[in-house]
């Protein structure tokens, strides 16, 4: 197979704080080295890009020593937590920014969808931007014209095609931008999490189109998403990035399982570190804890009762609050949801505990997402807050193995002899 992309020792460093080397002569030496394709002589060692700890260096590596190969016609998913380096990698592959070290070979014409508005000129109309993007990809006017009607029809913005795109909503922007990237002739299609801006119907439509151009036209696709169901449906292979390093590559199912293990190191996960997603004016969700008899971190025995405790700080006594915990598959499909009763709470520290009876969950992996709602006025939703794993206890001889499905409740059965006349 022909290689579409080959990445060797790719790294990207960012300076925090003051830029420059400190003197004009050193700035000129840096420029001269980079102009000759040499490494920056004043590049500092820097630190791994771990946002959870306070660093000492003013240089961080958003990506460090990345190596991989992608064959032509492959669909590859790139997953990882926020800040792992996914978007930086896509920007480098799209030639939006340059790597600090390393090289990339084999890249053909690239159509990318990175952020809302990327590649569009806000003052130009939708029609003009279609022709502009086609010209950037090296297409002739008649080639673009041949695709024009399909692009407009797919995007569903025909009424506004002669309107400057600065007046588009974010959803309209994404619709047109994806249609342009998908229909104009490029060898590689790069799509970031920006598709989440569109509605569910359009996301499904986009996934179908990406699958079509990958299988039917043999185009290479790089897809970044936190929607693991979409990644698994579209891609056969995946990369896991963590703190700027490539942790694992391989079969998409195996990589997703490794990604979920990043959340399972503790029985208690602190959520208040990210105040933007865990707090609002009415309450804050501090942490979630798995209470179990198991001595294995992040795991429980399926024949024992377990409890999930939410630690909450309540800020208002005049607002009813209720909490939901979503039990989901590793790919993100909801198995069931358990909800607390809406009620007024005293201000201060609150513990909300949900009990799961024994022999209800199967021996499998579950992701837990949390939602808190205050009288439908304000909502907190924390996706993939925790991952827990059910463990099968030792069984008696004759046990046939794991039950199918995600739950296996012990329901009441009545068996009796039928009396005949």
Read off the pLDDT of residues 259-270 as tens digits, 9 standing for 90 and up: 877 765 578 888
Do residues 233 and 275 both lie within one domain? no
Q: Report if pTM > 0.85.
A: no
237 plus 351 within the same structural domain? no
pLDDT tens profile 65-124: 999 999 988 999 999 887 888 888 988 888 888 888 888 887 777 877 776 666 788 889
Kindly state whether residues 321 and 370 are assigned to the same domain.
Answer: yes
339 to 114, 324, 350, 373: CA distances (angstroms)? 36, 4, 16, 10
The Cα 76–Cα 93 span in angstroms is 14
Question: Same domain for 187 and 204?
Answer: yes
The answer to whether residue 381 is domain-embedded is yes
User: What contacts 24+ positions apart, CB below 8 Å, involve 103-106?
Assistant: 103/7, 103/8, 103/9, 103/10, 104/5, 104/6, 104/7, 104/8, 104/10, 105/3, 105/5, 105/6, 105/8, 106/3, 106/4, 106/5, 106/6
Q: What percent of the chain has pLDDT over 70?
A: 86
Report whether 29 contacts 213 (CB < 8 A): no
Q: Which residue has the tokens 């090296």?
A: 138
Distance of CA 242 to the CA centre of its chain: 12
Name the most confidently modeled range: 27-36, 261-270, 329-338.
Answer: 329-338
Let me know whether 250 and 272 are in one domain: no
Residue 221 sits in the same domain as residue 133: yes
Q: Give the pLDDT mean for 377-402.
A: 77
Residues 187 and 212 in one domain: yes
Domain boundary among 261, 293, 325: 261
pLDDT at residue 263, rounded to an integer: 63
Are residues 212 and 86 part of one domain? yes
Considering the domain architecture, whether residues 132 and 252 belong to the same structural domain is answered as yes
User: Which residues form the domain of 153?
Assistant: 72-261
CB atoms within 10 A of CB 1: 8
Q: 152-210 pLDDT, tens per residue? A: 998 888 888 999 988 888 788 888 888 888 887 778 888 887 666 667 777 788 888 88
Please report whether residue 177 resides in a domain: yes
CATH value at residue 381? 2.70.50.60
Owner of token pair 């992040």: 298
Overall domain count for the chain? 2
Shared domain for 276 and 199, answered yes or no, is no
pLDDT at 404 exceeding the cut of 80: yes
- 125 with 248, same domain: the answer is yes
56 pLDDT above the threshold of 60: no
* 206 φ/ψ angles, rounded to the nearest 5 degrees: -65, -45
Is residue 49 pLDDT above 60, yes or no? Answer: no
d(CA 179, CA 166): 17
Q: Is 343 helix (H, G, I), strand (E, B) or coil?
A: strand
Q: What is the mean pLDDT of residues 337-352?
A: 92
């Amino acid at each position: 197979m022909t290689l579409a992309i080959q990445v060797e020792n790719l790294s990207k460093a960012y300076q925090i704080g003051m830029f420059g080397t400190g003197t004009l002569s050193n700035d000129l030496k840096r420029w001269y080295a980079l102009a000759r394709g040499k490494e920056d002589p004043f590049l500092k060692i820097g630190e791994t890009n771990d946002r959870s700890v306070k660093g000492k260096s003013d240089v961080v590596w958003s990506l460090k020593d990345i190596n991989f190969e992608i064959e032509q016609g492959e669909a590859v998913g790139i997953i990882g937590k926020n800040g792992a380096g996914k978007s930086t990698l896509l920007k480098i592959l799209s030639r939006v920014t340059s790597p600090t070290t390393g090289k990339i070979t084999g890249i053909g014409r690239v159509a990318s969808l990175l952020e809302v508005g990327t590649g569009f000129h806000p003052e130009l109309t939708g029609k003009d931007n279609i022709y502009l993007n086609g010209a950037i990809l090296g297409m002739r006017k008649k080639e673009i014209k041949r695709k024009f009607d399909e692009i407009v029809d797919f995007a569903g913005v025909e009424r506004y095609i002669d309107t400057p795109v600065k007046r588009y909503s974010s959803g309209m922007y994404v619709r047109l931008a994806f249609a342009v990237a998908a229909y104009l002739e490029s060898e590689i299609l790069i799509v970031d999490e920006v598709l989440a801006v569109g509605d569910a119907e359009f996301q499904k439509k986009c996934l179908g189109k990406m699958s079509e151009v990958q299988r039917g036209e043999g185009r290479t696709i790089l897809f970044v998403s936190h929607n693991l169901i979409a990644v698994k449906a579209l891609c056969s292979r995946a990369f896991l990035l963590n703190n700027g390093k490539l942790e694992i590559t391989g079969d998409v199912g195996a990589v997703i399982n490794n990604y979920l293990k990043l959340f399972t190191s503790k029985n208690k996960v602190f959520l208040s570190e990210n105040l933007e997603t865990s707090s609002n004016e009415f309450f804050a969700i501090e942490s979630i804890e798995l209470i179990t008899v198991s001595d294995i971190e992040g795991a429980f025995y399926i024949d024992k009762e377990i409890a999930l405790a939410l630690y909450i700080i309540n800020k208002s006594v005049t607002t009813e609050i209720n909490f939901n915990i979503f039990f989901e598959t590793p790919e993100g499909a909801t198995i069931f949801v358990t909800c607390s009763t809406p009620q007024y709470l005293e201000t201060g520290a609150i513990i909300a505990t949900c009990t799961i009876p024994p022999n209800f969950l199967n021996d499998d992996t579950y992701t837990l997402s949390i939602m808190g709602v205050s009288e439908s006025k304000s909502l907190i939703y924390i996706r993939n807050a925790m991952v827990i794993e059910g463990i099968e206890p030792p069984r008696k001889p004759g046990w046939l193995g794991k039950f199918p499905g995600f739950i296996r409740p012990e329901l009441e059965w009545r068996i009796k002899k039928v009396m005949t006349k």
